[in-house]
């Protein structure tokens, strides 16, 4: 479903733009997203659902309640964001269940869950209670999906060094990336960047990584260098090093390859590398300032 501007949405509902804005303020529905220029854009699914309910009830509060309960067509980031903004866990569950009926787990995460949390953070700041609720709900959902992921069907292991922090959207992207790797049959382990490399031997031996992925945007280059060196002591010099979503500053060409910014495409590139194939958009990136010699 697409998005429409205020005048078009109001025309569909048979009300004035001012009336539509008053509903937004009073009921929080339909909830628009904002363009870079500050213009409202309404989810077409929400407007269509509200129009249908309003034709049945001729009462705005009843119509809004019905439209929210029924949903507004295909699951969308706007609908999920609205549920998060109302702290409605049940509705958030229903929206993702609807998405899973027509999308894969990976596409549901990438096309519905992550954009909803990301736009909520952009609109209200990542320190608001709505964002905190959304981040924790999303983390719980991703963890549950990880638990029911199929058992590994490949021998290769992947270590993810995550430099993100709690309530950081980048943390959700790292979790989504690991889930997509698991669902492609790979063995994975995510470790915090702040770990002491001297205490990582057991974890590294358990996974025997063929690839290391750097995630999160709060990377301390010295810490990353020590971790990569520790991983290469186990995996050898053939160990592939990847960057997911710009974890490292781009300072020149090196052996580190950028995986891109979306989990599905990133997994495609990494798996292709493990298989000896090359898939766009693998791009070399800089590793200047990171010592791999210990």
CATH of the domain at 106: 1.10.1660.10
Are residues 119 and 55 part of one domain?
Answer: yes
Helix and strand tally (H, E) in the chain? 13, 9
Question: 137 and 182 share a domain?
Answer: no
**291 part of a folded domain:** no
Q: Are residues 220 and 245 in the same domain?
A: yes
- For position 242, which CATH number holds? 3.40.50.2300
Shared domain for 141 and 8, answered yes or no, is yes
Check whether residue 63 and residue 162 sit in a common domain: no
Task: Give the number of domains in the chain.
Answer: 2
Average pLDDT over residues 227-255: 79
- Bridge partners of 191, per DSSP, are 161
Do 66 and 110 lie in one domain? The reply is yes
Q: Does 36 map to a domain?
A: yes
Instruction: State pLDDT tens for residues 77-92.
Output: 877 887 898 898 988 9
Same domain as 240, residue 120 = no
Distances (CA, A) of 148 to 4, 152, 157, 179, 182: 38, 12, 19, 10, 10
Running DSSP on this structure, what letter comes out for residue 197?
G
Domain check: are 129 and 183 in the same one? no
Say whether pLDDT at 70 is over 80: no
Of 103, 127, 145, the position where a domain reaches its end is: 145
- Tell how strand 3-5 and strand 187-192 pair up: unpaired
What is the C-alpha separation between 144 and 138, in angstroms, rounded? 10
Quick check: 53 and 94 in contact, CB under 8 A?
no
Confidence (pLDDT) at 217: 78
Give me the mean pLDDT over the 121-146 stretch. Answer: 90
Is residue 71 one of the residues assigned to a domain? Answer: yes
Residue 213 covered by a domain: yes
pLDDT tens sequence across 138-164: 999 999 999 999 999 999 999 999 989
Percent of the chain at pLDDT exceeding 90: 44
Same-domain status, 227 and 136: no
CA 286 to chain centre: 24
Residues 186, 101 share a domain: no
* Predicted local distance difference test score (pLDDT) of residue 284: 44
Section 209-218 average pLDDT: 88
Its domain, for residue 269, covers 153-285
Q: Is residue 276 part of a domain?
A: yes
**CA–CA distance, 125 with 179 (Å, rounded to integer):** 26
Joined tokens for residue 149 = 């992921």
In this prediction, residues 21-30 reach a mean pLDDT of 90
> What is the pLDDT at residue 260?
83
Q: Considering 122, 145, 168, which residue would you say is the last residue of a domain?
A: 145
Q: What is the pLDDT of residue 126?
A: 67
Residues 94-101: contacts with CB under 8 Å, at least 24 apart: 95/71, 96/141, 98/71, 98/74, 99/74, 99/75
The verdict on residue 34 lying in a domain is: yes
What band does 290 get if pLDDT is binned at 50, 70 and 90? very low
Choose from 227-241, 245-259, 280-294 the range with maximum mean pLDDT.
227-241
In what order do the strands lie in the sheet containing 157-162? 187-192, 157-162, 209-215, 240-243, 256-258, 283-285
- Which of 44-53, 55-64, 174-183 shows the lowest per-residue confidence on average (mean pLDDT)? 44-53
pLDDT of res. 1: 47
Q: Which of 27-31, 102-106, 134-138 has the highest mean pLDDT?
A: 134-138
Residue recorded with tokens 């029911």 = 148
Mean pLDDT score, 192-221? 84
101 and 184 co-located in one domain: no
Q: What is the three-class DSSP state of 215?
A: strand
**Which of 145, 166, 197 is at the close of a domain?**
145
Residue 58 makes CB contacts below 8 A (sequence gap 6+) with: none
Looking at the domain assignment, is residue 290 inside a domain? no
Give residue 127's pLDDT.
74
Looking at the structure, do residues 121 and 244 belong to the same domain, yes or no?
no
């Amino acid at each position: 479903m697409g998005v429409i501007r205020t005048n078009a949405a109001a025309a569909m509902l048979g009300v004035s733009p001012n009336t539509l804005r008053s509903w937004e303020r009073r009921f929080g529905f339909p909830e628009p997203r904002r363009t870079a220029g500050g213009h409202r854009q309404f989810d077409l699914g929400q407007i269509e659902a509200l129009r249908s309910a309003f034709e049945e009830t001729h009462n705005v509060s009843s119509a809004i309640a019905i439209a929210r309960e029924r949903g507004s067509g295909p699951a969308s980031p706007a609908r999920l964001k609205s549920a998060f903004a109302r702290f409605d866990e049940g509705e958030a569950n229903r929206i993702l269940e609807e998405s899973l009926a027509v999308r894969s787990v990976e596409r549901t995460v990438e096309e519905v869950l992550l954009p909803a949390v990301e736009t909520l953070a952009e609109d209200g700041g990542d320190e608001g209670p709505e964002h905190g609720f959304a981040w924790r709900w999303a983390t719980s959902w991703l963890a549950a999906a990880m638990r029911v992921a199929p058992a590994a069907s490949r021998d290769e292991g992947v270590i993810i060094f995550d430099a993100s922090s709690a309530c950081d959207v980048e943390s959700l992207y790292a979790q989504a990336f690991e889930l997509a790797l698991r669902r492609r049959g790979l063995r994975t382990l995510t470790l915090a960047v702040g770990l002491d490399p001297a205490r990582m031997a057991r974890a590294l031996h358990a996974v025997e990584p063929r690839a290391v992925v750097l995630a999160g945007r709060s990377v301390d280059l010295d810490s990353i260098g020590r971790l990569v060196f520790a991983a290469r002591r186990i995996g050898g010099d053939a160990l592939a090093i990847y960057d997911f979503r710009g974890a490292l500053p781009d300072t020149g060409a090196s052996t580190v390859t950028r995986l891109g910014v979306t989990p599905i495409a990133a997994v495609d590139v990494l798996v292709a590398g493990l298989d000896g194939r090359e898939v766009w958009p693998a791009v070399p990136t800089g590793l200047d300032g990171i010592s791999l010699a210990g």
